Amino acid sequence: MAEVDFLITLSGLGAVSDAQELRDAAMTASSTTLTSASAPFTSADVGKPIVVGGAGASGAKLVSSIASFVSATEVTLANAAGTSVTNGGAVYGTDCSAALQAGLNALVTSGGGTLVIDGLYLLASPVSKSFGGETAGIDAQLVGTGTDSAIWIGTAATADSITLNSGRLQFRDFSFVGVPGASRDARRVLNLATIAATFERCGFYGLMAQDAVVYASDSYIDTCDCIFGGCFVSSAGQGYSNSVIENKNWGGYRDEYSQFIDYGYFRGQFYSKSGFASTLGWVRADTPLGTDGARGESVFYMCGTRLDEGALHGIVAKPTTGTIAHVHLEDLRQNVTNAETGRGIHCQNVQSVVIERCWLGLASTASLLGHFQDCGTVLLDSLKLSDSVNKLSATNVTALTLKDTTGISTFTFTNVNFHPINSRYEDVSLVKDGAISDADFVAPPALGTLAFDRTNNRLYIKRVTTAGWIYFDMSGGDPLGPELVVNGTFDSGTTGWTAVNGATLSVVGGALRVTNGANGRAYQVVATVIGQTYQVSATIGGGTADRLIRVGTSQGAASYTAFTGTGGTATFVATTTNTYITLMLNSADAGKYGDFDNVSLRAA
């Protein structure tokens, strides 16, 4: 943001920095008397606005003014309480709304500049300002000095406290604070429209809103090193569909190193409108600007952010219409709700999702780290999961890659191409000793998934055109062609094999068992190319009858080769387009059996 010379202070515009907060306010329903044992009042307080949390009708906040001074511990308000309160929260002071409005007006008139929030102020009436849009070229800043700069939100519960639109604004080093005990501070604390706004080192403490604390439409929002402590979205109105920060028809959202937690401390006081419970969510990205998220403008980025539990989702990227171009989350620390339906991260209709080097934990019951629906590519890279955050859910995802992440025990996938990757082996998803099968993966691997068998030096690939796996011998020399036998390792039961002569087929100990009817057999027909050399191999296991394997041009024929004993390996040149592999028992006795395994036929 460009530096500008014009600078004004809120106090210089007539605002009085005298906002005072009570934690021991007491009122009786139908009475205008307010007492405070801390004895804060003076005769100079007469006429000042005051907001009493919970003292309004049905427990709403009471917005009034101090009508008369009785003593240091007692004043009379202009309006009677609708609800009795003891040890209640209240804020009173001089209304800064006129000065704040004058300051915003001056920024526009001067074509930009800096308004300094140079104290502790009460905002009792809403303010709003348009900064003239892009053609006006106004860069404005609202800055404070840290904990000595704050605005307490004392406007009506149905009001938008501060409305700003059509400009470029920076907020820095001051806080927005809610009235303790107020069931709602505002409809929207900050209502931003067509704004490019940056928040740096700003605090939001104990704020209860109906739609959102920060409600941004048609805007680009950056938050950096901010704290949202004890903020909540109320259940009335849109409370169960909105989050603390709402991005509607948005262009971009970016956060770095902010905190979203269910409590906060400001100037030694504790604030929490959630009562250590959880708001629906912290940040939500709704429909992006325009009609085409693929323009690449709708980028949702968070880095180093800390997020406490959200009652349903901590982070939501879910457009009402259209698609979001990109969601990128890195180095987050997120507590995940215990709710069974809770999801730490929810993305829907997002073209590209990258979540890397994030920690998710705390849930005491099994919970979802995230749900991804109707998305393009999703990469989950180097996630650290703890406690009971051990579930992953996805529906209709073009490609979901899980890289260098362990601890997920439950996968709920529908129409998902899943790619697990261990970067130690680059693009190889699994390395183990022994043959590879679907059972080695915690969720169904996608077509084309690579895995490696260290024992036999075989590189496996998930078959694309038919079920199962094929492998290439990596021991040296030219690799053999793809596996032509269907289910030669019998990981898929007896699929691909046909029984004859009354034989019964079953899988025992990972091998095919042929049990006799009379001279029992099992065979498979493999398509071959005339003149092509092939390598065939198989293992013969135990049994109660003589066992042999024949490979030939018809069922039971040994035109090419035959194996006895424990099996073997042989090569042959095909003379027909169909080659038969027959697993046989050389016995007519019913009930006799033999076991066979690792049947393979590949072009040599």
| Secondary structure of 4-31 as H, E, C letters | CCCEEECHHHCCCCCCEEEEEEEECCCC
pLDDT band at 524 (very low <50, low <70, confident <90, very high): very high
Angle at 443 between CA 595 and CA 306, to 5 degrees: 155
Query: Which of the four pLDDT bands, split at 50, 70 and 90, describes residue 291?
Result: low
List Cα–Cα distances, 184 to 19, 179, 205, 243, in angstroms. 19, 9, 13, 15
3-state helix, strand, coil in the chain (%, to 5): 5, 50, 45
Cβ contacts of 268 within 8 Å, gap of 6 or more:
none
Residue 427: closest CA among 460, 472, 385: 460
Q: How far apart are CA 336 and CA 288, in angstroms?
A: 26
Q: Could you give the CA distance from residue 169 to residue 143 in angstroms, rounded to a whole number? A: 10
Name the most confidently modeled range: 359-363, 417-421, 567-571: 567-571
| pLDDT at 337 > cutoff 70 | no
Q: In terms of Cα–Cα distance, which of 487, 447, 455 is closest to 474?
A: 455
pLDDT of 336 above 90: no
Residue 314: closest CA among 346, 354, 353, 361: 346
pLDDT attached to residue 314:
79
Instruction: Scan for tokens 């507590």, then name that residue.
Output: 335
pLDDT digits (tens, 9 = 90+) for 436-447: 888 888 777 877
Q: What is the mean pLDDT of residues 92-110?
A: 97
What sign has the CA pseudo-torsion 131, 135, 136, 138?
A: positive
Task: Read off the amino acid at residue 535.
Answer: Q
299 pLDDT higher than 50:
yes
Q: Cβ(420)–Cβ(441) under 8 Å?
A: yes
- Asked if 325 and 297 count as a contact pair (C-beta separation under 8 A), the reply is yes
Model pLDDT, residue 540:
93
**pLDDT for residue 2 is more than 50:** no
d(CA 521, CA 528): 22
C-alpha to C-alpha distances, 434 to 214, 220, 437, 472, nearest whole angstrom: 56, 53, 10, 14
Bridge partners of 450, per DSSP, are 461
Instruction: Return the ∠ at Cα 547 (arms to 546 and 553), rounded to 5°.
Output: 135
Q: Which letter, b or e, does each residue of 83-110 get, where b requires 16 or more Cβ atoms within 10 Å of its Cβ?
A: bebeebbbbbbbbbbebbbbbbeebbee
CA distance 170 to 263: 25
- E strand map for 331-457: 333-335, 343-348, 350-356, 359-361, 367-381, 384-385, 389-403, 410-421, 430-432, 450-453
User: What amino acid occupies position 293?
Assistant: G
Q: CA torsion sign, 97 to 102 to 103 to 108?
A: positive
Encoded tokens for 412: 């709920």
Q: Is the pTM of this model over 0.75?
A: no
CA distance 305 to 285: 16
Closest CA to 178 of 122, 239, 101: 122
- Closest Cα to residue 461, out of 518, 419, 519? 419
Q: Are 541 and 530 spatial neighbours (Cβ–Cβ below 8 Å)?
A: no
What residues are paired with 145 via a beta bridge?
none
Two structure tokens written together for 570: 């042989």
pLDDT at 363: 64
Which backbone phi and psi does 93 adopt, to 5 degrees? 160, 180
Least confident segment among 60-74, 82-96, 175-189, 274-288: 274-288
- pLDDT (tens digit, 9 = 90+) per residue, 232-278? 887 554 434 578 999 999 989 999 999 998 889 999 999 988 654 44
Q: pLDDT for 122-142, tens place per residue? A: 999 999 999 987 777 789 999
- Rounded to the nearest 10 degrees, how much is the dihedral formed by the CA atoms of 547, 552, 554, 556? -10
